């Protein structure tokens, strides 16, 4: 039973947008009381797997905090156990599946593992399976590489092979034409390949809609029976919560309500997480409400995924549809009435760059707008000190060639989100790659160029700003540039 170890691929970013700005997909809440990673780790425990390695990317703090020492899955061991192996290179690239190059960064782990076979599977795969059954099928088929397919023949990025073969690919990653095991299965010609068809429900969660669809499937008894088997339980981090409380005014139908939740309003066909509060006269329909959300009186939420600690204010209407779900960010406040999009344009903002009180005011305003429930954004130059400190967190949004003074300059726009504020940084080496923010002879040209470039990138925003808040003399030309813009 101990002849198999598991590599958990948590290196894929997926297409989650705001839901994964502060976590990796494996740490996403699911089914009111679980995280996605719980299913993979529970499968390991139920399959008597004692050696598990997780390869995350980016901000994996939430995942690490949830897993802890691995006690819940019987992986806190003197020999073997659970290992979280982050990228060693600062230049992280996101791929659809874990690459051999990424594994090579922790080659010593594979060399140290005593098991002869390895199963590679994603952290965001919801299923209940005995991994030993897959290994047995692999051995019976005398295959070199086995790929697991879902009941409808979809690829779920899960493979079984010998440790020796995997080490061959890892050690020679820089000379072979394959990036990952999917490439090997598709294009390698000298291997015996085999498919294992998994006959029960399974869900590869790689987008908000996939997360929503899987949660809605939990409302079906047949799916619950396949995912939650009495002989193969799904384990999660233990938390202490009172039983859910239903007030006299509540109405709940076809829904899952987690412990600690308080329901005073109407909940239909929805999944509600721990310690969420649905106040009297609030309505929640066809939605996923994560932990500690608050839906205030007379608010209506429909076809939405609300991230943890979202607060929907009184009388607010949150409405999406199956083609475009409404998504909130962690701790977002959703206000009633018209949602004014506010964009601040500035040359400095705390905590990124500061010379005086302007940075403090701008930073405070940005957070205050968000706390009041308004979409809050800010655009400023990308100074070297910002690039150095936030390099791993900046996401390239767009690039343009902008003409100024008869010359063309390449300009890039980067994005970063914190506390529900969207920060945009405009990179133009010719103007802002300086040791100081101000004090140069060409300051007039520098910030005139910034005003023009900022307006040119307005197309990048999902919604054009209703209010553009311009700060100080540096952006004095921006209103004229904006007025003259013919787009």
CA dist 303 and 324 (Å) reads 8
**Is the pLDDT confidence value at 93 over 60?**
no
Which pLDDT score is estimated for 440? 95
CATH, range 4-227: 3.90.550.10
| pLDDT tens for each residue of 424-434 | 999 999 999 99
CA dist 178 and 103 (Å) reads 13
**Is the pLDDT confidence value at 200 over 80?**
yes
Distances (CA, A) of 188 to 160, 343, 350: 15, 51, 52
Give the start-to-end residue ranges of the domains of the chain: 4-227, 245-334, 342-484
CA dist 34 and 273 (Å) reads 9
Contact 287, 302 (CB under 8 A): yes
Contact 103, 88 (CB under 8 A): no
| pLDDT tens for each residue of 113-151 | 999 999 999 999 999 999 999 999 999 999 999 999 999
Domains 4-227 and 245-334 share a fold: no
> Superfamily assignment of 245-334 in CATH?
Hexapeptide repeat proteins (2.160.10.10)
DSSP symbols for 367-387: HHHHHTT--EEEEEE--HHHH
Tell me the average pLDDT across 459-474.
Answer: 87
Contacting residues for 21 by C-beta, under 8 A, at least 6 apart? 329, 417
| pLDDT tens for each residue of 324-339 | 999 988 888 887 666 6
Contact 348, 364 (CB under 8 A): no
Which pLDDT score is estimated for 2? 60
Fold of 342-484: Rossmann fold (3.40.50)
Which pLDDT score is estimated for 182? 95
Contacting residues for 220 by C-beta, under 8 A, at least 6 apart? none
End-to-end CA distance of the chain: 66
């Amino acid at each position: 039973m101990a002849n198999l170890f598991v590599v958990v691929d948590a290196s894929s970013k997926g297409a989650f947008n705001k839901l994964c700005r502060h976590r990796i997909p494996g740490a996403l809440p699911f089914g009111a009381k679980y995280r996605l990673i719980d299913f993979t780790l529970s499968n390991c425990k139920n399959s008597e797997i004692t050696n598990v390695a997780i390869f995350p990317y980016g901000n994996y703090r939430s995942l690490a905090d949830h897993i802890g020492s691995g006690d819940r899955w019987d992986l806190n061991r003197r020999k073997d156990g659970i290992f979280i192996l982050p990228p060693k290179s600062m230049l992280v690239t996101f791929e659809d599946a874990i690459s051999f190059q990424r594994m090579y960064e922790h080659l010593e782990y594979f060399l140290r593992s005593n098991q002869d076979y390895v199963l590679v599977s994603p952290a965001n795969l919801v299923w209940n399976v005995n991994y030993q059954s897959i290994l047995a099928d692999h051995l019976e088929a005398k295959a070199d590489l086995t790929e697991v397919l879902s009941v409808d023949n979809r690829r779920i990025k899960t493979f079984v092979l010998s440790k020796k073969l995997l080490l061959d690919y890892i050690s020679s990653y820089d000379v072979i034409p394959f990036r990952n095991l999917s490439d090997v299965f598709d294009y390698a010609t000298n291997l015996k390949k085999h498919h294992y068809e998994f006959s029960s429900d399974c869900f590869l969660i790689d987008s908000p809609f996939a997360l929503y669809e899987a949660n809605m499937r939990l409302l079906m008894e047949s799916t619950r029976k396949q995912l939650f088997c009495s002989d193969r339980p799904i384990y999660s981090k233990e938390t202490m919560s009172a039983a859910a409380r239903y007030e006299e005014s509540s109405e709940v139908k076809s829904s899952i309500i987690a412990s600690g939740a308080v329901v005073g309003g109407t909940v239909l066909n929805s999944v509600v997480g721990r310690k969420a509060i649905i106040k009297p006269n609030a309505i929640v329909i066809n939605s996923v409400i994560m932990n500690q959300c608050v839906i205030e009186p007379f608010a209506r939420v429909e076809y939405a995924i609300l991230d943890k600690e979202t607060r929907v204010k009184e009388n607010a209407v949150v409405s999406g549809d199956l083609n475009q779900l409404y998504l909130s960010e962690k701790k977002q406040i959703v206000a009633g009435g018209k949602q004014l999009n506010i964009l601040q344009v500035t040359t400095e903002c705390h905590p990124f760059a500061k010379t005086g009180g302007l940075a403090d005011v701008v930073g405070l305003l940005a957070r205050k707008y968000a706390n009041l429930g308004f979409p809050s954004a800010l655009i400023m130059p990308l100074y070297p000190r910002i690039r150095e400190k936030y390099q791993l967190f900046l996401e390239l949004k767009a690039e343009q060639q902008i003409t100024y003074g008869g010359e063309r300059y390449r300009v890039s726009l980067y994005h970063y989100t914190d506390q529900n504020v969207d920060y945009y940084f405009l990179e133009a080496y010719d103007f802002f790659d300086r040791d100081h923010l101000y004090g140069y002879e060409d300051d007039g040209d520098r910030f005139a160029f910034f005003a023009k470039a900022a307006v040119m990138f307005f197309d990048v925003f999902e919604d054009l700003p209703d209010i553009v808040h311009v700060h100080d003399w540096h952006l004095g030309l921006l209103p004229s540039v904006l007025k003259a813009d013919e787009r």
